[in-house]
Amino acid sequence: MISRVLRREFLDFFEKKGHKVVPSSSLLPLDTSVLLTTAGMQQFTPYLSNTKNVLEDFGTRHLTSIQKCFRTLDIEEVGDDTHHTFFEMLGNWSIGLDQDKGYFKQGAIEIALDFLGNILGLEKNKFWFTIFKGEAGIPKDKESLEIWQEQGISQERIIEFGIKDNFWGPTADTGPCGPCSEIHYDRGPQYGCGNQDCGPNCERCKRFVELWNLVFMEYNKKKDGCFSKLPQSNVDTGIGFERLLAVLENKPSAYETDLFLPVIQKIEVLSAKNYNSQKPNFRIISDHIRGAVFLAAEGIFPSNTNQGYILRRILRRAMRIGKLINLPRNFLIPLSQETIKIYQEFYPEHKTKQADILSIIQKEETKFEKTLEQGLKEFEKLACKGEIDGSMAFHLYNTYGFPLEMTEEMAVEKKLKVDKKSFEQAFIKHQEISRIGATKKFGGTGAEQIKDEEQKIAVIKLHTATHLLYYALREALKDNVRQMGCDINSERLRFDFSHSVKLTQDEIKKVEQIVNQRIKQDLEVEKQEMECGEAIKSGALAFFREKYPERVFVYTIRDKKNKDWVSKEICAGPHVKRTSELGCFKIIKEQSSSAGIRRIKAILI
């Protein structure tokens, strides 16, 4: 079954069962405490926890979707049969059910067996099942056990696991979660480790593929790590699209299906090498290019921060691996074009944004091409000494653009280790030196010195104004506005943010009003030093989060009267002490920066 047919079968099946098909949400999630969307349920979180009403917004409590997801956690595993950075999740939801209105465990289990067995024709005798055994004060899921048995499944095919394997969520530190019951598929002994105790969740082999995860979402994880009951029960399910397709096609992995084959074949032609002789390298390259195409399609640009850093990291990693298999220069573009061809039917925006996507990738390739070769030589020199300490890794990062993770990966290949802590120290020291350098620049005498001082103060003011602008945009547009870039000089600030449509005159006015109102209130700007993790938990926005050292500064603009804060951002500063120092804020331009990204230029008068 090819991917197009599987997509259609899945959505048609659930539509016929009364589910509303909801389009995939963006890879940039609404919940800004996580960088990228990692699960199908993320866009439904407010409905699952009943802070939004599912009937009001969708007209039904039964939903289905094919969701774009991206995970970097297992990036080192990419190259094997089952791991990917970008992937798609098929899912169905029954939200906020009560006895008559929605299905729960019984319904979810029956529907899943119907789809896998009757629609896809998978053999029932190859299925294994898991249930939650009860742990951490949450009881064993006896109900699911009984339902599976009622469906004719024998006891020895139903295995119990604890929190680690059979409890799902939340995707952030807090939020809806619950015990789950899974359907695994036995691919046969040829995929196995041969051990007596081999079975679902075997840590040695991939014989048993987890196909479908049925989450019975009844809990909410709180800040203190404890669970409370959600106000309602929900069903949340997830099937990894790639692995289901591989099983249906009876292929070892998705790389041998139509989702990847044209790209793999193109790599064979360009490198004059055979896929089977270099499987992991071919797979990493094709996975990372697919991931890059999807990130670029969201309007993300390679950078040293946040999502941009992830994009940079996978593109640069693909380029390094490309060298290992002799891919010629500029290979990213033909492979990206193949990837777009594969996905443009289901994601038409890939076609319409093709030029933007390719230009983003091309620019990064050109940029890194210049330093990659030299950096690799430098790395070899350093590795010969038998050590890559943090300052050397920083040198590779700062001079040759090697992401730390890439240096670490190359070090592992040489059985060496990189000390992350001393990398961070070198990073901070460098920032410190740059700051002193910048301060020194403001030296000089007389009028020149005064002018420089004035410019310095103007930059500081605009810096604080930028934090207020970010806050105001989120307030005024009620959209998941994300900072995508920022540039400040003594004349003006320039702020790029994710938003798909042009701002109206009213919206621009509203943003100005919100900023000016906060300026007038003479709010205090407070600076605190804390652990990066603690800062994120406290709700601080972190444009530079991925590359932040362990300890960071958080700037909070406080509204003491209301015992609340208006803006909280991780930021190196400096900032003004009180907002009244800013004067009057004015937007002078609002324009498109690139696909899905708007740009505002503003001044203080």
> CB 225 → ligand GLY: shortest distance, Å?
20
User: Contact between 39 and ligand GLY (CB under 6 A)?
Assistant: yes
Please name every residue paired with 586 in a beta bridge, in sequence order, or none if there are none. Answer: 603
Nearer to ligand GLY, 243 or 568 (CB): 243
Place of tokens 């990291």: 313
In the complex with ligand GLY, which residue's Cβ is closer, 213 or 594? 213
Give, in order, the Cα–Cα distances in Å from 593 to each of 105, 359, 484. 47, 14, 10
Q: Which range in 38-46, 113-121, 257-265, 399-407 contacts ligand GLY by CB under 6 A? A: 38-46
- Look at phi and psi of residue 518 and say left if phi exceeds 0, alpha if psi is from -120 to 50, else beta: alpha
Minimum CB separation of residue 246 from ligand GLY in Å reads 17
Contact between 86 and ligand GLY per CB under 6 A = no
Assess 536 for contact with ligand GLY (CB under 6 A): no
DSSP label at residue 329: T
Least gap, CB of 227 to ligand GLY (angstroms): 17
* Least separation in angstroms between CB 241 and ligand GLY: 11
Please check whether residue 417 is in contact with residue 453, taking contact to mean a CB–CB distance below 8 angstroms. Answer: no
Structural contact between residues 57 and 95, judged by C-beta atoms closer than 8 angstroms:
no
- Strand-pair partners of 68: 88
Q: Which two tokens stand for residue 479?
A: 């959209």
Give residue for tokens 């939020």. 175
The smaller minimum CB distance to ligand GLY, of residues 48 and 145, is found at: 48
| CA atoms within 13 A of residue 573's CA, in its CB half-sphere | 17
Instruction: Provide the minimum distance between the beta carbon of 203 and ligand GLY in the complex, in angstroms, as a whole number.
Output: 19
With CB under 6 A, what is the number of residues at the site for ligand GLY?
9
Q: Which helix (H) or strand (E) holds 160?
A: strand 158-161
Q: At closest approach, how far in Å is the CB of 42 from ligand GLY? A: 9
CB under 8 Å to 300, separation ≥6 — which residues? Answer: 28, 307, 308, 311, 360, 484
We find the least distance from the C-beta atom of residue 243 to ligand GLY, in angstroms, to be 12
Q: How far is the CB of 213 from ligand GLY (least distance, A)?
A: 4
Nearest Cα residue to 114 out of 17, 181, 255, 254: 17
3-class SS of residue 417: coil
Residue type, 115: F
From 34-42, 243-251, 290-298, 576-584, give the range in contact with ligand GLY by CB under 6 A.
Answer: 34-42
Residue 481 three-state SS? coil
By the rule CB under 6 A, 170 interacts with ligand GLY: no
> Which one, 77 or 380, has the nearer CB to ligand GLY?
77
In one letter, which amino acid is 504? T
Contacts of 373 (CB under 8 A, 6+ apart): none
Nearest residue (CB) to ligand GLY, 89 versus 259: 89
Which residue has the CB atom at the shortest distance from ligand GLY?
Answer: 238
Q: Alpha carbon of 142 to those of 57, 113, 151, 180, 217: distances in Å?
A: 34, 19, 14, 12, 15
Q: Is 589 helix (H, G, I), strand (E, B) or coil?
A: strand
One residue of 22, 27, 41, 388 binding ligand GLY per CB under 6 A: 41
Q: Is 402 exposed, middle or buried (0-12, 13-18, 19+ CB in 10 A)?
A: buried
Name the segment binding ligand GLY (CB under 6 A); options: 36-44, 468-476, 501-509, 534-542.
Answer: 36-44
Residues 210-239 close enough to bind ligand GLY by CB under 6 A: 213, 215, 236, 238
Per-residue interface string for the shown chain with ligand GLY, residues 366-405, x marking contact by CB under 6 A: ----------------------------------------
Candidates 14, 27, 28, 40; binder of ligand GLY (CB under 6 A) is 40
Which residue in the set 168, 216, 331, 402 belongs to the binding site for ligand GLY (CB under 6 A)?
168
Q: Is residue 36 involved in binding ligand GLY (CB under 6 A)?
A: no
For residues 45-84, which are near ligand GLY according to CB under 6 A? none
Measured from the CB atom, is 182 or 512 closer to ligand GLY? 182
Distance CA 112, CA 237 (A): 9
- CA atoms of 497 and 592, how far apart (whole Å): 10
User: Considering the complex, what minimum distance in angstroms separates the CB of residue 153 from ligand GLY?
Assistant: 20
Q: Which of 28, 63, 78, 89 binds ligand GLY (CB under 6 A)?
A: 89
Q: Which one-letter amino acid corresponds to residue 68?
A: K
- The CB-of-236 to ligand GLY minimum distance in angstroms stands at 5
Q: Given the complex with ligand GLY, which of 215 and 327 has the nearer CB atom?
A: 215
Q: Characterize 320-344 residue by residue with b for buried, 16 or more Cβ atoms within 10 angstroms of its Cβ, and e for exposed.
A: bbbeebebeeebbebbbbbbbebbe
175 binds ligand GLY (CB under 6 A): no
Binding span for ligand GLY by CB under 6 A among 35-43, 125-133, 332-340, 387-395 = 35-43
Nearer to ligand GLY, 238 or 390 (CB): 238
Site residues for ligand GLY per CB under 6 A? 39-41, 89, 168, 213, 215, 236, 238
